[in-house]
Amino acid sequence: MTADLHTHTTASDGTLTPTELVTAAHALGISLLAVTDHDTTAGVAEAQTVATRLQMSFLPGVELSAEGTPGKCHLLGLGINPRHVRLNETLSQLSEHRRQRNEKMITRLNALGVAITMNDVLAVAPDGANLGRPHFAAALVASGTVADTREAFTRFLGDDSAAYITKETLSPADAIALVHDAGGLCFLAHPGLLRLAAHETYETRFRALQALGLDGIEAYYSSYSPADEARFLRLAEKLNLLVTGGSDFHGANKLHVPLGIVRDGQPLSRSLLPTRLLALATA
């Protein structure tokens, strides 16, 4: 009875279609799966249909980028209603902002002497993908500009790199409220990857987000050490925050992150997840 509550499909920057992802999870014996694509729920309906056919429990989800007070973060909405009107209106607006950002990145790359077009990016992306930096990285590799994805982010696409364009995002408060309006619980994704300010600790950041309505944190995550996991579990207990866990699977875009491997190289037992979260899963 294992779970993976942080996965991505071709609807955003994963390389498996929703059907392929759910089928692969089922083959691994995963009994509870969440699809949490970046700023879109476009893959959820297909994934849920396949999960139902395979008699798997399923949590509709989304991963939202947020920036502003108290800081930049990613937030997981789990157990959301993917047909919620305001959620989809907001995601459509974010998608348009993303399209505009992509055009600016093409312009910036061209100014840096990189001969790349939007058609080059589209050529390496799955049909219907919500284009983002991983697709740009793939196009840079295909063009021979860089040797691999790591070099693409280091030289051009990373947050501190030459072609980076700031993404339009929700504030943490608005993202949390949106998840709640859509019927879900909101969790801070991979807190171990946060960039804390000099005056901050994990506890102060968690408390600030909790004051905005945050329900919990991703205390189990594929890249955590046992010490990381223990730290986040202690803080979750101290602050009365719920916990979740996931691999952050992206397929070939993150080959070092296998599907279903969540906790110290092992699958996550459903018994470690809170009842409030499990109650939102479809049977």
Query: In this structure, are 65 and 181 located in the same domain?
Result: yes
Residue 164 lies in a domain: no
DSSP 214: -
The H or E element containing residue 261 is none
Query: In this structure, are 196 and 242 located in the same domain?
Result: yes
Q: How confident is the model over 46-60, as pLDDT tens digits?
A: 999 999 999 999 999
Structural domains in the chain (count) = 2
Looking at residue 36, its pLDDT comes to: 98
Range of the domain at 223: 2-84+169-278
Query: In this structure, are 152 and 178 located in the same domain?
Result: no
Residue type, 139: A
Distance CA 104, CA 264 (A): 40
Residue 142 lies in a domain: yes
Query: In this structure, are 243 and 105 located in the same domain?
Result: no
- Contact between 37 and 9 (Cβ < 8 Å): yes
Looking at residue 264, its pLDDT comes to: 84
Q: Tell me, yes or no, if the pTM score tops 0.85.
A: yes
Query: In this structure, are 103 and 235 located in the same domain?
Result: no
Residue 242 sits in a domain of what CATH number?
3.20.20.140
Query: In this structure, are 47 and 152 located in the same domain?
Result: no
Query: In this structure, are 74 and 176 located in the same domain?
Result: yes
Distance CA 186, CA 201 (A): 20
Query: In this structure, are 181 and 260 located in the same domain?
Result: yes
- Contact between 36 and 76 (Cβ < 8 Å): yes
Residue 162 lies in a domain: no
Residue ending a domain, among 130, 157, 184, is 157
Residue 283 lies in a domain: no
- Residue 70: cis peptide before it, omega within 30 degrees of 0: yes
DSSP 166: P
Residue 115 sits in a domain of what CATH number?
1.10.150.650
Query: In this structure, are 115 and 217 located in the same domain?
Result: no
Residue 271 lies in a domain: yes
Residue 121 lies in a domain: yes
Residue ending a domain, among 157, 187, 213, is 157
Residue ending a domain, among 110, 130, 157, is 157
Query: In this structure, are 96 and 220 located in the same domain?
Result: no
- Contact between 217 and 241 (Cβ < 8 Å): yes
Residue 241 lies in a domain: yes
Query: In this structure, are 95 and 78 located in the same domain?
Result: no
Residue 44 lies in a domain: yes
216 in helix, strand or coil?
strand
Distance CA 179, CA 185 (A): 7
Q: Which of 92, 37, 94, 90 is nearest to 63 (CA)?
A: 37
pLDDT in single tens digits along all 283 residues of the chain: 899 999 999 998 899 999 999 999 999 999 999 999 999 999 999 999 999 999 999 999 999 999 999 999 999 999 999 999 999 999 999 989 989 999 999 999 999 999 999 999 999 887 777 788 888 999 999 999 999 989 999 999 998 899 999 888 899 999 999 999 999 999 999 999 999 999 999 999 999 999 999 999 999 999 999 999 999 999 999 999 999 999 999 998 788 999 999 998 889 999 999 999 999 998 6
